[in-house]
Structure 1
Amino acid sequence: MTHEFDKAALAQQRSDRALEADRRLRQLFAEAVPTDGSDPREGPGLALVAVGGYGRSELSPFSDLDVVLLHDPSVDESVVREVAEAIWYPLWNDGVALDHSVRDTVQMREAAATDHRAAMGMLDARTVAGDSGLVMALRSQVLADWRRDARKRVEEVREARNTRIERAGWLAHAAVPDLKESGGGLRDSVILRALVATWLIDVPHGESESLRSDLLDVRDALHQTVGRRVERLDADAIPDVARFLGMGAEELDLHARQLGRRIAHLASLSWHKIDEALAPPTKRSITPTGPAVTPLAEGVGVLDGEVIVTGKADPTTDPEVALRAAAAAARAGLPLSPGSAVRLAASMGELPDPWSPSSSRLMVDLLSSGQGLVRVWDELDFAGVVDLLLPEWVAIRLRGSSSPVHRFTVDRHSLETCVYAAKVKRDVARPDLLAVAALLHDIGKGAEGDHSEVGEPMAVQIARRWGFSEDDAAVVGKLVRWHLLLPTIATRRDIEDPSTAANVAEIVETEDFLDLLAALTASDAQATSPAAWSPWRQGLTEGLVEKVRGVLDDSVTTPTAEDYEGWPADVPIPDHGAMGPSDFTLTVEPHQGGSLLTIVTSDRQGVMADLAGGLALAGLAIRSARTVTLGDAAVSLWEVSRADVDAARLTDRLRPAMAGELDLSGRLELTSIPDAPDARVRLLDRLSETATLVEVRVQDRRGLVWTVCDQIASMGLSIRSAHMSTYGDEVRDVFYVVDGDGQPLDDATATTLRDGLATALA
């Protein structure tokens, strides 16, 4: 769908809002400062000044009105105060979102000298009412100061910008972009105006202003559809904003990210020019053919701090020069010249199919270069070179992720995975295959179906084209196919059950592949978000890897499924005496960013449900649970996400639940969630020899674990272990259930349990 909204109309509406605000302010100013000679306040020295977006006449529907009451220092303070109150109070009564201040010209100039944001606001200052000469003089002074102190001021701006982007991310690549604060957002476009005002550099004015206007259109539509001031373009808002602008939802998301990408690229070029302008003058070697270039590789050199493709190189007959330039720039941590990237995109010939060994090595060098990869790849991608090297990239470029855990778009996430993979390349036998799999592990997200399954044949085809052998291409494809295997199994299965490690070992087959998969898993998770590689997830995944390694290593004796009773072999079972029906003991120890609770109770039907209910009422989120019966006692191990659990306090809170003094069904009854998908309950067959696995996928809410445990207990069944995973607001819990004899359920009982759980969770 092509967007058909009226750009001119939206821009005019912004201007009209500013004009309407001007009229109201002029009216109030005229009432506060009469001009008919009847009031001693008459005369020069007072002005209402629009600054920031209002100064540029760019008012979105819910923008603040940034106004300064400016006055000459000679004007009496009581007069200024009276005028200010006469203007501000009516605006407040009207409900205007007012960002106001009162300053004299000296204070205003001092503020601009110490706060770059105040200075940038004054650069766009506009007289709304009053003494325009006062405003023009001040603006000229602030501009002169800005230019005089430009070397210091631009560093203040750069530092603040870097801090902001660290917090808000990049508009093009953030999972939920902030149209104003993200890198490539509206603040960056305003900074470009301020950088130009220093006279240190120039920026393509028409392109910069057009990009900001386009992004303001999106922001205006967001304000209109949400009905309040908001800057974050989240997934819930996108459909309505898209309809307002006459676009499809995916089209709008891509449109906004493309704008952010282009503004960020302009900003990157501008900051590079700033660095050149601020660098100490050096003697440049001049040859008869022009400036001297420091050679890096054939047809590749360094000029003025950038890697360039030299004039003698011919990308038409030597397309590999693109890979040489990119790899050299990334390894050196230098930017690739935008001009060279554009030249490569326009004239680069086709690489052979398959690539030569040297081309394959250069691509691996690029992907393994660490943080330098990101900037170089972005430059290649912006110019269009990536489309020549990897046509499949277009399907994931700037593509948002549906998972709330992800902090980046799919393409940026793939590059970040390469950066993390470069840090562990010495831990694997084939770092080249790790690098390629890191780039391609999500390549299937641009197509319909499970991205791991769809991505496998795509990755194999790309690896072949890039010159890898059939066997190596198959390994890359297998890594893509199974890149979610380890964290999925580790967080949703009982890794102490020998069947779990044995099942994984059947897939990975060799220790070399296990090492590759473990390295890819860690890199993928770290590139996703801190939550995806929390101490808990990391500990479980690494624990599973070692257990699988034990299965693959014939010299290591591993327990068999027949020996497993549901309790970790390395966790001692505490001593216990006789237990009454409601007696229990509890100990707490730190564990993987949370706490491990060991609870000893009498063995009775429903004890796990009572404990789950008590823990829920205590506000604890359960990560896993397991139990073993020893005589008349039940020993259970509960992993919870909170690290500061006080054993004595929790004991007091659990005691009423264990004594049957609480109506758990009343206090933990599941609340209805409008429009939530139906709960999905599945039986996971043949994944354990000693228990029946039941998977529950449902929207998270308090009392969920208790509801499942209570339903299982009501059928006279027991839970051997349970493993909880949360993704955004959805939980995916797996329960290992046994019958009264401690055996897996028969088919009829398992089906009845499944149906009962589905009903209980409805």
Structure 2
Amino acid sequence: MAATIAESLAGPLPAPADADELIDREQLGDGDNLLASLRDALTRLDADLGERFRGGEDVAALVRSRAWGVEQLLLYGWDARVPEALGLTLVAVGGFGRGALHPHSDVDLLVLFEKGDLSDAQKEAIECFVALLWDAGFYLGHSVRNLAQCREEALADVGTATSLMEARYLSGSRALFDALHRAVAPEVMWSARDFFNAKMEEQAARHAQYGDTAYNLEPNVKDGPGGLRDIQMIEWVTRRHFDATGLHGLVEHGFLTDSEFRELVEGQYYLWWVRYALHLITKRAEDRLLFDVQRQVAEFFGFRDDGGSNLAVERFMQGYYRVVTGLERLNERLLQLFSEELLSESAPPSEDLGEDFVLLHGFLDLRDPGLFKRRPQALMELFDVLARSEKALGVRASAVRQIVDHLYLIDDDFRNDPQVLASFYNMLSRPSGVYTQLQRMNRYGVLAAFIPAFAQIVGRMQFDLFHVYTVDQHILFTVRNLRRLAYPKYNGIYPNAPKVFATMEEPAILYVAALFHDIAKGRGGDHSELGKVDALAFARKMPMSEADAQLVAWMVENHLLMSQTAQKKDIGDPETIAEFTAIVDSRRKLEHLYLLTVADVSATSPRLWNGWKSGLLWELFQAAWSSLDEDDDTPTDRAGQIEHSRDEVLEQLVGEGLDAARVRAFWAGLPASVFLRFSDAQLAWATAAALQHGEDGTQVAVRLRAEREVTELLVCAEDYTGLFATITAVMDELGLDVLTARVVTSASGRSFDLFQVMDRHGNPLNDIDSSVLARRLRAELDARNKLAPVMRPLPRRLRPFVAAPTLHFRTARDGAVTEMEIECSDRPGLLSQLSAALAASEVRIHDAMIATFGDRVEDTFLVTDRADKPLDETLQKRLADEIHRRLDS
């Protein structure tokens, strides 16, 4: 087993047992036939190894065999193109130096010469050799340096130094290679401390590119946290620190246990297997588990599902995440051990933390290695001690090993122990460190052992573009976001929630709800209902009242209610607020649900949370808060709200200098529902803009809503069939995302439409884009054009998620309109396509609520026929057929 990981190889690779089958030297030609014979030999080599991989052969043997086979072909080409008399030496570096090659991995080479500059003959020979290899189909990563340049580069760059640490002689002057080995030997280049610090910085920068989590939607098998680079990182530090030729040296020095060593080896095998499959499937050096290949890789592993579900790929990815998380944990633990040994002189002083724990150079350690066996409750107490200790940098690596080795002690007796439960709740109640400790508990396996339901969602991904993280990471990020509401530095991200959070007497109630809100994902059935049962059972064991336990369960059951109401319904309609507050029947529930929703939505994806969503939720919160106040005299019925809005906005406009009679005359031509569907601020702005240049012709106004991080667009124009479709087609051409649309038609046949839009990056429009949008719309609408939607190919990331649209129709607003809900896969120009289908079916749009959840769209349209009547069944079918025809094509 020890020989399988990156041993130091002094020279050419040993021939595998099947060497004669891999490379047939008699078929290698020379002269004019050299290129063709090398290309054919490489093709045969890869085809043979690919078949053996599909047949289940040991992947470690395959990557070794490919490295050996490629080496034979390189040496054959080198001997044919580079005369020995030129004094050049061929050296394998990087992955090729380690003697392992995947199907499309780069072949890293160094052409070494002694000193000075290359002669013309040397240059010509190297160019011929490199051109030969490229033309034959090899993927090269090559450099040409003399000894002094190698040393200079290695001194300046730790990456180069690392690559040269793995240098392996192939051909040419062995004496020159030995001189290179001496010139760049680790002990004369980088001190162990400097090398370790530089590699740590390198790893930190690499991990930061992937959000410092192994739980990425399309993880990188090679460079992501827990990937192959993390194993190589341990190898490099081991080689530099111990001058060891393999990781088994860590076992001999007491840094690794035998079981941990096996986990590293098996983890490397697993990642080699996944990477080999990726290269074969994509036919390129692809190290990312992209959506469009995840299902194929899962099939390589034997995962299958029925009925077109995503269960197989989700199960495969869950296994992948668990492997890389284990490797990430081992990487962290070993590097901390190195840190303790290499950097102990500059470490902080030790400190006594009480009877059972001590801070040793800043890291928490056990005073007695037998503590957990003697008193298992300390497995939970440790995290509470960490949460209340401001000086603690983390858990000492030896203590982490003790935790992992004693997870078997977390049984039902432990889970029901009042002392354990109190320690956990105390940790949740600390003013700081809550998320950090939960994250640590998850990394060490304690959280999954303590809450068995949590174990089922560790590493569980959801095969869609909405949920960027695995379920367990999303849950922990939800807790993290709740914690952030207590810190002023995050007020820019959360402008309203912190003042609500400040009123919470028991934030721990929120954290428990956050831990359980998605805990039943993947079980089948309604995860909110199933999670409610788990949450209530757990909360009742906590030192909290029955009322608080019921509140936790209610939050879990209804954690989607507020976001779905805000994004998919008209929250300006009193009927919507009445339906919402019928479920959220107290201000206490409203406050807790609002905070959980804010944290949940912003933990789904880094790109999902913005000022527009924040503003929507806050608007719904305020409306519901007022509705739940029995002493509030703000009207909640439609007629009363219309009158209230009319009076408020008229007073504002008159104060700005507009004539009251002119404003009333303008409003008289609009349906009364405009006072429900536009906020007071929107109605005031839109009215002023519409009256500014008269009431004829096309008027387009654009403004920035900075507090919502959104741009609002007002279009006033003569109505005609296809008007809305033309507007959306223009916005589609400009790459804009439409968030909401309010469509009003006056008694005189003029359209009075308000849109909220963002650019393709989720930002408000800048001044130039706003001007371009207004100019394009005026030109198209003045000409009464009917623009057809632009057909674009699906982006790569959307292709695996294409599904047929589903439509639902029901009457709304007391039977005055038809509400059409459509769920479908997102695609470029979707709203433009839907608008064109509505126009072709002679259906009028009155409102549109646009909700996009990653790869899935859930849009709601309020529509009527041309006579402003709800759609009958015949027209509903006609419209549905038209939408299917357009989207299915």
Q: Which residue of 297, 302, 306 corresponds with 2:359?
A: 302
Distance 1:704 1:79, change over 3 A: closer
What is the TM-score of this pair, normalised by structure 2?
0.76
In structure 1, runs of 5+ residues without a counterpart are 286-291
Change (3 A) 1:736 1:74: closer
Tell me how far 1:15 sits from its aligned partner. 1.3
Shift of 1:73: 0.8
Q: Give the match for residue 461 of structure 2.
A: 400
C-alpha displacement of 1:278: 3.6
Structure 1 residue identity aligned to 2:174: S
Change (3 A) 1:314 1:8: same
| Aligned partner of 2:394 among 335, 349, 354 | 335
Distance across 2 between alignment mates of 1:511 and 1:695 = 30
Aligned residue pairs: how many?
Answer: 743
1:647 shift after superposition: 4.5
Go from structure 1 to structure 2 and tell me whether the alpha carbon gap of 1:142 and 1:98 turns closer, same or farther (over 3 Å shift).
same
Give 1:437 deviation, angstroms.
1.0
Q: 2:174 aligns with which of 107, 132, 136?
A: 132
1:288 aligned partner:
none
Is the Cα contact below 8 Å between 1:173 and 1:398 reproduced in 2? yes
Structure 1 match to 2:667: none
Q: What displacement does 1:174 show?
A: 1.7
Task: Say which of 590, 597, 612 aligns to 1:514.
Answer: 590
Partner deviation per Cα, 1:578-609 (whole Å, 9 max, x = no partner): 99999211111113333111111235555333
- Residues in 2 aligned to 1:635 and 1:749: alpha-carbon distance in whole angstroms: 25
Match of 1:496 in 2: 572
- TM-score (normalised: structure 1): 0.88
Q: Which moved more, 1:744-753 or 1:431-440?
A: 744-753
CA deviation vs aligned residue, 1:423-475 (integer Å, no higher than 9, x gap): 23534343121010111111011311232232221222222244544432221
Q: Does 1:229 align with 2:306?
A: no
Partner of 1:194: 236
Shift of 1:744: 5.7
Q: Is the 8 A contact 2:581 2:628 kept in 1?
A: yes
Structure-2 change in CA distance of 1:316 and 1:689 (3 Å): farther
Amino acid at match of 2:407: A
Which position in structure 2 is the counterpart of 1:142?
A: 184
Residue in 1 that maps onto 2:539 = 463
Corresponding residue for residue 751 of structure 2: 634
CA 1:581–1:588: 2 relative to 1, 3 Å: closer
Q: Is the 8 A contact 1:355 1:465 kept in 2?
A: no
Against the structure 1 CA distance between its residues 684 and 443, is the aligned structure 2 distance closer, same or farther, given a 3 Å change threshold?
farther
Which residue number in structure 1 is paired with residue 78 of structure 2? Answer: 29
Q: Percent identity?
A: 27
2:540 aligned counterpart, secondary structure: helix
1:107-126 maps to which residues of 2 (within 5 A)?
107-126=149-168
Match of 2:718 in 1: 602
Corresponding position of 1:289: none
Contact 1:46 1:69 in 2 (8 A): yes
User: Contact between 1:338 and 1:379, CA under 8 Å: does it hold in 2?
Assistant: no
Match of 1:14 in 2: 63
Q: Distance in 2 between matches of 1:16 and 1:543?
A: 64
Contact map agreement 1:15 1:57 (CA 8 A) in 2? yes
Q: How does 1:724-735 map to 2 (within 5 A)?
A: 724-735=850-861
Question: What residue is the counterpart of 2:687 in the other structure?
Answer: 574
Alignment of 1:163-312 (within 5 A): 163-169=205-211, 172-199=214-241, 203-204=255-256, 207-247=263-303, 249-281=313-345, 294-296=352-354, 299-311=356-368
2:805 is matched with 679
- Residues 626 and 636 of structure 1 are in contact (CA less than 8 Å); yes or no, is this contact kept in structure 2? yes
- How far apart, in 2, do the equivalents of 1:544 and 1:404 lie? 26
Distance between the aligned counterparts of 1:316 and 1:686, measured in 2?
64
Task: Rate the CA distance shift 1:353–1:61 in 2: closer, same or farther, 3 A.
Answer: closer
> 2:525, 2:203 → 1: CA distance?
39
Deviation readout 1:83-141 (Å, 9 max, x if unpaired): 31132110111121111100011111111111111111111111111122322332243
1:30 partner letter? D
**Structure 1 residues 226 and 742: alpha-carbon distance in aligned structure 2, compared to 1, 3 A threshold:** same
Task: State the one-letter code of the partner of 1:229.
Answer: A
CA distance in 2, matches of 1:167, 1:135: 36
CA displacement at 1:502 relative to structure 2: 2.0
Q: Tell me, yes or no, if the aligned pair for 2:725 and 2:786 is still in contact at 8 Å.
A: no
Judged with a 3 Å threshold, the aligned counterparts in structure 2 of structure 1 residues 368 and 497 are, in CA distance, closer, same or farther, namely same
CA distance in 2, matches of 1:264, 1:125: 27
In structure 2, what is the Cα distance between the partners aligned to 1:342 and 1:265? 11
SS at match of 2:744: strand
For 2:741, give the aligned amino acid.
A
Q: 1:493 to 1:688 in 2, by over 3 A?
A: farther
Q: Give distance in 2, aligned partners of 1:306 and 1:108.
A: 39
Write the distance in 2 (CA, Å) between the matches of 1:346 and 1:577. Answer: 74
Distance 2:779 2:347 in 1: 82
Give the superposition deviation at 1:677.
Answer: 2.2
Pick closer, same or farther for the CA change 1:547–1:687 going to 2, 3 Å. same
Q: 2:826 aligns with which of 700, 704, 710?
A: 700
Matched residue of 1:307: which SS? strand
Task: Identify the match of residue 697 of structure 2 among 567, 583, 594.
Answer: 583
- 1:308 Cα offset (Å): 3.3
Partner of 1:454, secondary structure, is helix
Distance 2:333 2:125 in 1: 46
What CA distance in whole angstroms lies between the structure 1 residues aligned with 2:616 and 2:318?
36
Q: Secondary structure at the match of 2:823?
A: strand
Q: Shift of residue 63 of structure 1?
A: 0.1
Structure 1 residues 215 and 282: CA distance shift in structure 2, 3 A? closer
Alpha-carbon contact 2:64-2:101 (below 8 Å) kept: yes
Aligned mate of 2:773, from 625, 650, 670: 650
Question: Match of 2:133?
Answer: 91
Return 709-718 or 302-311, whichever deviates more: 709-718
One-letter code aligned to 1:499:
E
Q: Distance in 1 between matches of 2:438 and 2:692?
A: 67
Deviation string, structure 1 residues 659-698 (Cα, Å, up to 9, x no partner): 4554534x55798999942211112566877643211122
Instruction: Answer whether contact 1:61 1:224 (CA < 8 A) is retained.
Output: yes
How much does 1:702 deviate? 4.7
- In 2, the alpha carbon distance for the partners of 1:135 and 1:371 equals 56
Does the aligned pair in 1 maintain the 2:725–2:835 contact within 8 Å?
yes
How is 1:719-758 mapped onto 2 (pairs within 5 angstroms)?
Answer: 719-738=845-864, 757-758=883-884
The change in CA–CA distance for 1:650 and 1:128 in structure 2 (over 3 A counts) is: same
Does the CA-based 8 Å contact 1:676-1:699 persist in structure 2?
Answer: yes
Q: Which runs of 5+ in 2 are unaligned?
A: 1-52, 243-249, 305-312, 486-500, 643-672, 760-764
Q: Report the Cα distance in structure 1 between the residues aligned to 2:287 and 2:294, rounded to whole angstroms.
A: 12
Which of 526, 539, 551 lines up with 1:450 in the alignment? 526
Instruction: Give, in whole Å, the separation in 1 of the partners of 2:402 and 2:333.
Output: 13
